[in-house]
Each structure stands twice: as C-alpha cells, then as structure tokens.
C-alpha cells in the first residue's frame, strides 16, 4: 500500500489514463529495451511475478498488461471484476483480487462493518472462483482503541461465515499485514504474530496472510526468519524498498535476492507482487530491474 495515494484512487487513474506524452515516453523506453533482449527469455521460473497497477498510474491497465507480459510477469495484483476482462485478453492472471473490502480502515475487527463486509464478500467469492482465481484481499481495519483479544474475536466472528463459503468455492481470503508506524496509523493487523494468531483461530486453509515485505520491515524486520517460520500462513508477497517504498535495488536497506531465496526455499508456489513506487524517471526500467533482482 502507498503512503500518499490510495489504491482505489490510483487504479481509477490507471483506467482513466494520464498525460499522453508521459505514457508515450514510457512505452518508447520499453520498446527500445525490449529490442535488445526480452527478460522473459532468461527468467529462472522459481518465482511467479506479478505487479500492482497503482504504482504505474501513467499507464492504462491494458498497456501495463502488455508491457508486463513481455517482461515475463504473469500476474496483475489488486484487480476486480471490471479489470479481469483486460487481464484475460492478455492471458494474465489475477493473483490477488480486490473489490469486496470497504477500505483499509473499516474492517473485520469492528462489528459495525460485519453486515456490509459479509454481503460484499458473499457476492465476490463466487465471482473470484468463476473467473478461475483464488486469492481475495481483506483487512483487519483500524484498532480504534480495541485490544488484541477484542480484535481477534471480532475478526473471527465476522470472517467465520465467509470461510465456509470460501472453502466451498476454493477461494482464499488474504488479510494484508500493513505497518501502523508510517503509512497506516492505527491499523491492527500490523505484525506477523497478530496475523498468524488470527489464522490459527480461524483454522482454515482458506484464510491466509498477504505478507508485505515493505510494511513488515518497517514494523519488525527479521524478514527472512518470519518468512521461514510462518510460510504456511502466507499466500502472497508484496515488495517495496525501505525507506520510501521505492526501488528494491541497492538504494534501500533490504537485500531482496536473499529474501527471494528464502521464499523459494519454503516451496512457495504463489506470487510475489512488485508493489514499489518507482522513483526513477524510467519506471519500466525500474520494474524490469526489480524482476531481475527477484529472479533467483
């Protein structure tokens, strides 16, 4: 998740498009690089790569799909029913679906939102399955003064009816781990242990975590150990450079090749989604470099 721009507003910008000259510049840059060699020709295949559209608001979703596919990226994260036809046109997967949540602050840890959330997810789960997808994002919501026990109990109460439906349709509800220090003040599911405890209480293979590496580095670090110890509870990963959620190269504090090797060593077969906000002018070159870095 971005600290200054919501996913919803960013995705709206993707659909609407932005300045034609900026888009043309990005596309021209990609075409020049692509003429030299295609990254997809040399990917090892140990990591399934996806990308989050809100990070590339200069491009339409259609353009992003085309560019990403040429790089060897096979999935596009955070897409809902209105986006799926575009992905399907390009043969791209939707490894982390969205569209049932209210927002990031009004989540399952607060009973006042249960009726709306249960209606939204009851309608979305069959759609996810019908389109051949598996993972659907969800959020704890803001703490609002609730202690951990109250938050866990409320989440279990709100999610339990949906878990039965998710099991029926073979859909996995994925709660994202977000930092509450910088970007999402007061968010309750803000560390691995909190999310794992909730997963244990729900006790279903159809509830797992979206482990955002950027957010968890901010909150607690110890990324490789947490991945190794808790990988059974993780369905999806997101990247991002620290600090600033920019490129995942040597300008930031984590060494992503080691993190990716740790993910691969667990036998993980899901997706790692690039969700950094490029700081460099050539955003496509930054994305291509990130795929190189993560291709272990």
The partner residues of 172 in beta bridges, in order of sequence, read: 135
pTM above 0.95, yes or no: no
pLDDT at 246: 98
> Residue 272 in contact with residue 263, Cβ under 8 Å?
yes
User: Distance between CA atoms of 4 and 19, rounded to whole angstroms?
Assistant: 20
pLDDT for position 42: 82
Q: Where are the domains of the chain?
A: 7-294
3-state class (DSSP) for residue 218: helix
Give me the pLDDT at residue 69, please.
97
Q: How far apart are CA 98 and CA 10, in angstroms?
A: 14
Predicted confidence at residue 18, as pLDDT, reads: 41
Separation of CA 219 from chain center: 17
d(CA 213, CA 239): 5
Contact 118, 107 (CB under 8 A): no
Class of domain 7-294 (CATH, top level): alpha beta
Q: CA 66 to CA 197: how far, in whole Å?
A: 40
**Segment 29-48, tens digit of pLDDT:** 555 444 434 545 589 999 99
Query: What DSSP string describes 72-100?
Result: T--EE-SB-TTTHHHHHHTT-B-SSB-SS
> Which token pair is 82?
């209105």
Residue 275's alpha-carbon distances to 77, 157, 291, in angstroms, are 9, 31, 12
Which residue stretches of the chain have pLDDT < 50?
1-5, 8, 10-21, 28, 32-37, 39
- Dihedral of alpha carbons 110, 196, 102, 238, sign: positive
């Amino acid at each position: 998740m971005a600290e200054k721009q919501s996913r919803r507003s960013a995705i709206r910008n993707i659909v609407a498009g932005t300045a034609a000259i900026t888009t043309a510049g990005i596309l021209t840059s990609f075409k020049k690089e692509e003429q030299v060699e295609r990254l997809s020709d040399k990917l090892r295949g140990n990591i399934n790569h996806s990308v989050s559209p809100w990070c590339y608001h200069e491009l339409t979703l259609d353009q992003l799909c085309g560019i990403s596919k040429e790089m060897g990226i096979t999935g596009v994260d955070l897409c809902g029913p209105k986006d799926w036809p575009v992905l399907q046109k390009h043969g791209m997967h939707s490894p982390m679906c969205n569209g049932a949540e209210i927002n990031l602050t009004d989540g399952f840890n607060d009973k006042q939102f249960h009726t709306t959330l249960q209606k939204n997810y009851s309608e979305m789960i069959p759609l996810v399955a019908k389109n051949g997808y598996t993972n659907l994002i969800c959020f704890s919501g803001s703490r609002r003064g609730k202690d951990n026990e109250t938050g866990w109990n409320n989440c279990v109460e709100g999610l339990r009816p949906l878990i039965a439906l998710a099991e029926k349709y073979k859909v996995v509800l994925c709660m994202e781990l977000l930092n509450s220090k910088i970007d999402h003040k007061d968010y309750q599911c803000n560390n691995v242990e909190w999310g794992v405890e909730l997963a244990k209480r729900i006790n279903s293979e159809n509830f797992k975590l979206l482990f955002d590496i950027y957010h968890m580095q901010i909150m607690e670090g110890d990324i490789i150990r947490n991945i190794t110890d808790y990988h059974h509870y993780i369905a999806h990963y997101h990247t991002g450079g620290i600090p600033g959620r920019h490129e995942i190269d040597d300008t930031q504090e984590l060494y992503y090749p080691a993190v990716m090797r740790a993910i691969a060593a667990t036998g993980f077969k899901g997706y790692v989604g690039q969700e950094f906000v490029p700081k460099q002018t050539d955003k496509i070159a930054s994305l291509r470099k990130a795929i190189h870095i993560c291709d272990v």
